[in-house]
Each structure stands twice: as C-alpha cells, then as structure tokens.
Structure 1
Amino acid sequence: MKKFLSLFTLGLTAFMLTACSGQEAKPADVVTSFLEAIQAGDLEKAGTYVSSENGSDEFDFTGLNEGAEDPATAALVNGISNNYQFKNVKENTIDENNAEVTVEITSLDFAAAMGTAMEEIFGVAFELAMEDQTEEEYNKAMEDKSNEILSNTMTSKDAEMVTRDVTLKLTKDDEGKYKIVSDEQLMEAVLGNAAEVESMFEGM
C-alpha cells in the first residue's frame, strides 16, 4: 500500500507539472506582466510581452529600449515609470488567436511634461545666446542643458499625471503565446498623451 501511494503521489505530481506547463498565459496576465515591468522601469523585460511581428508605423516599442543610449531618449525612458499605476484589467477574447484587454492607467502626462520642458529650454536658449561663445560651444551647451531639463522634468515628483482607459490588442505568435501588438494604443499605455506631443512638433 505504501508503495502504491508513493507511486500514485509521484504520478499525480508529474501529471500536475505537465498540465501546468501546457497552460499558456491568458491575455490579461500578459498585459499585467507587461505593465508591472513598465512600472518597475524594466523595458527589456516589458519587451518580451510585445509582438515582434505585428508592429506598426504608429509606434515601435522596441525602439525605446534600443535608443536608450541617446540622452534625450533616456530622459523619456526615465519618465515612463514615474509614479506609473494601473488597475481594472479586463479581458475580452475576440477569437482563438486575438484578444483585447482594457486597463485603467495613471502615469506621466508626456504632453504636459514636454510643454514645461520646452518652455524652460527656450528660456535657456535666450540666456546662452547672450554669452560670448562660438557656435559649437553654444550648441554643446544647449544640448547638455536640454537633456538635463528633459530628465528633471520627466522624473519630477510634481509632474502632471494623466488617467485614461486603454484597450490593448493581443495576438498569438508562432508558439501560440499571446503578445501585445505595438500600435498607437500601446504608445498611449506607455506614454500618456504622446499623440499630443506629435501634434506639438508637427508645425515646427
């Protein structure tokens, strides 16, 4: 009897491990893991939940992480996790390969932050123009100051926040795992009011 129970226990454990390993993460779980990585400022991990095959011209999430060596992009990246919060993750299955997940997100208002930064940068540009220096020295000073202002603005504890409902699209990859589509909605989830920033610079 003891031998039977032992074999039964081993068999049951093996069955449970096999069953668990065959379960794919649900769309809501994928989105939650992605947002938790964003909240922690780990864009590399967040990228593992984003589809590499269904990107669009509207937004390239992987480009954020790859361009982090650029000071201006780094300032933007640092602001993403600034007091990032999310709740009410709701899943809606479209068909066997596609799903949507709606979530309420509160994070940095990038349009407001960029407006504040640009106002300060214009002021610095005027001050530096009054100094006796070469064009090369001026450009270098402007670049350094601009990056400093951007970084400080994006990471400020007093930065303006925005709350919005975002619906993320997910699709299964070749391995049958749900991945988030990198589109305008994902951009809104990561960069609150980023579309307004684009409009801000269209006429410049």
Structure 2
Amino acid sequence: MKRNVIVCMSLWVFILAGCGTESPDQTVDGYLSAIQSGDLEAAGSFVAGGEESLTMDEEGLEDEEMTAEMIDAISNGYEYESPEVVSEEEGKAVVKTDITSVDFAHAFSKTIAEVMPLALASAFEEQTEESEQAYEDLVQETLMDYLTDEDANMTTRTVELTLEEDEDGSYKIVDDENLAETIFANYTNLEDMFGSGEAEAVSVEETEEQTVDSEVVQVIAEDEAYDVEPIQFTLNELSFKKVANLPAEEQNRISMTTDKEVGEELEYIYINYTAKNTSEEDITFYGIQEAVVFADGKQEKVDLAMSDFIDYDEAEDSEYYGKVHKEGEQGAVFSTPLADVEKVRLTISSSMNSESYDQTSEEQVIEFEINE
C-alpha cells in the first residue's frame, strides 16, 4: 500500500508540473490576448527578451511609452483566430494564426507623406533641440491620429511565430520580424521602403554627415519697420544663408522653382517678415515681390512671386481678412556669388482693399549696403 501511495504521489506531481507549463499555442494565445487588451507588460511576459522586445527599432519609435500608446491604439479592433501548432520538436515550436488589425504600414506611410514636406522645408532653418523635439512630437501625433482614425485601413494576415523553451522549460516567442508583424501590420513593407538590417546600418557619424546643415553667413538687417498703410510691415531678418548636404529631391525642387542649377550646397538670401493688418477692412498684400543684388557694376533680379523656393509660410496667402497678422519667409537664389554682393534691394508690394480694389498704399523700395 505504501508503495502504491508513493507512486500515485509521484504521478500527481508530474501531472501538476505538466499543467504548470503552457503549450506553444497557449503561450501565443496568452500573448495575443494581452495585445488585444493593450497590455504591453503582460504581452512581454510571453516573449524572449521581455517587454523590451516589443518596442519598434525605427527612428522616432524606440520610446517604450510611445510603443505602449501605439499598442493601445492598435488593440482597438484587434482580432485573431485560435493559434494552431504547426510543428513542435526538441524545445522548439512554430504556431500559426490569422490576425486582423489596423494597417500600421499604411498609417506610417501617410504620416511620412504628411510631415516630410515640413521636414524638408525646415532644413533651411537652424535646428535646435526644441525644433527637433517639435518635429518628433508632430510625427508621433500624426501617426496616432491615423492609427486611431475610425476609418483606418484594416488588414488580415497569417503570421507564423517561432517559440523556444527557456531554461525553465517554458515556451517563449522568439523576437523576430514575425513578432513585430503581430502588432505592426505589414511591418516588413516599411523595411522595403526605408531599409533595415545591419547591412544598411550607418554609424552616428555617417548619419550626421547626411544631415542638412544650415548656416547664417551674414545678417544684413533685423527688425526694420515700414508702414504699408494699413499694413504694418516688419522685416525681421534679411540675411545670407548657406546649406550643405541638400537631398537630391530638394535640389530638383529648388532648381525647378528658381530656374537655377542647385547642388548639394546652396547659398541664398533669406527673408523673414511679419505683416499686420491694422484695418477692419479686408486687405490684399503680397509681401516682398522682388529682390535685386548688385555686384561689380552688375545687377541680378529675382521675381519672388515666381521664384521663392520657401513656399510653406502662411503669408503665401495674400488676403488679410480684417485685423490679422502673418509671418512670411522667402528664399531667393542668385547666380551672383553672395560674397561679391555690395548691395541688396527689396521691393515691398503695394496694398489694396480686397473688395473695392482701391489701392491703399504704393510699393516701396528699400536698399541695404553690405558691410565687409
């Protein structure tokens, strides 16, 4: 009798031990259920490497808090079929399941398409920690908007997850691209678009070399006020600027806008102004219409209405509806080397009543001598 009791107890301990270890499909089910609940911490307990394995290895998406927010957004509408064991042998297993969730690649692509013009435009401004943080925040906010949009694209895909037993004999999901696919749908499409992997990795130094560098070569004028009745016009900055490492697409865009050949390095005249309508009437005002440089007895004119390559500022709209103010930015590219320029002339446009077309002020010409 005693021997039988011992045998029964041993068998019971064995059964309990078996019940304490989840099968591969149970592990995957627990993981997917945690994702469906938006619980990043719980999901990480089923993955080799833990919670850190669930963060995206893409620029701007490494922050764990941001990843948690994205998973929380993706969990809305997240569905999956019961996991099915495809193979299991010697501590390794493959489990298959069908997952339906928001198309992350589509949302990310739309985000890039929306914010990239702003990024390229800001390449001509001096970068600060604040401006870089503002851009990162914009990317994240825009992406979250697309992920949480009630009309967001949904996609269904079949995912096969690889699992391996850890030192305790528990199955853990291997951290690979299929794991990322369970959360970030069509993740591999992003790799195709933006590149990934060690072969394409670059060092910090190389990345910095590819960054667009902007430099103020010389400030010509600052905070100059002019009365363009009823517009109060302030020339905030007139300067010579230089940029380096200009992307090819920006070279092409600026070349087309200015009708000048533009390479990786570019020097230009930068203009920043504020125009304030002091009248209740609607006023039409076009800002600075023309820039002329003088050097060695020659002159070169740029029509800023046609050749201003900084085309993202609010003053592009010439209508001032009542007492409003706008900030304008303009960039003028010249064939004349800026180092040779002796004088700069700007033409401030006239203003007129938008309804009656009556002119309220005439255009003004302002000039600035360049001091060596």
Partner of 2:53: 61
| In 1, Cα distance between equivalents of 2:91 and 2:84 | 17
CA gap 1:183/1:19 in 2 versus in 1, 3 angstroms: same
Q: Which has the higher helix share?
A: 1
Secondary structure of the corresponding residue to residue 35 of structure 2:
helix
User: 1:21: how far off?
Assistant: 4.9
Q: With CA pairs under 8 Å and 6+ residues apart, which has the higher RCO, 1 or 2? A: 1
Q: Percent identity?
A: 35
Secondary structure of the corresponding residue to residue 164 of structure 2:
strand
Unmatched 5+ stretches in structure 2: 1-7, 201-246, 248-372
Structure 2 counterpart of 1:47, which letter?
G
| In 1, Cα distance between equivalents of 2:96 and 2:54 | 22
Q: Does 1:107 align with 2:101?
A: yes
8 A contact 2:35–2:71 mirrored in 1: no
Structure 2 counterpart of 1:117, which letter?
T
| In 2, Cα distance between equivalents of 1:193 and 1:179 | 23
Q: Does 1:151 align with 2:144?
A: yes
8 A contact 2:71–2:183 mirrored in 1: no
Secondary structure of the corresponding residue to residue 83 of structure 2:
strand
TM-score normalized by the length of structure 2: 0.42
Q: Does 1:117 align with 2:111?
A: yes
User: 1:25: how far off?
Assistant: 1.1
CA gap 1:48/1:134 in 2 versus in 1, 3 angstroms: same
Deviations 1:35-60 (A, max 9, x none): 0001111111111111239xxxxxx7
8 A contact 1:78–1:155 mirrored in 2: no
Partner of 1:29: 26
Equivalent position to 1:180, from 153, 173, 183: 173
Secondary structure of the corresponding residue to residue 99 of structure 1:
strand
Range moving further from structure 2, 76-85 or 105-114? 76-85
Unmatched 5+ stretches in structure 1: 1-11, 54-59
| In 2, Cα distance between equivalents of 1:81 and 1:111 | 16
8 A contact 1:78–1:151 mirrored in 2: no
Larger Rg: 1 or 2?
2
Structure 1 counterpart of 2:92, which letter?
N
| In 2, Cα distance between equivalents of 1:109 and 1:77 | 12
Partner of 1:44: 41
State how many pairs are aligned: 182
Deviations 1:71-127 (A, max 9, x none): 5x455444432321101421133313111111000112111111111122135557x
TM-score normalized by the length of structure 1: 0.73
Alignment root-mean-square deviation, CA? 3.5
| In 1, Cα distance between equivalents of 2:36 and 2:190 | 22
Equivalent position to 2:75, from 45, 63, 81: 81
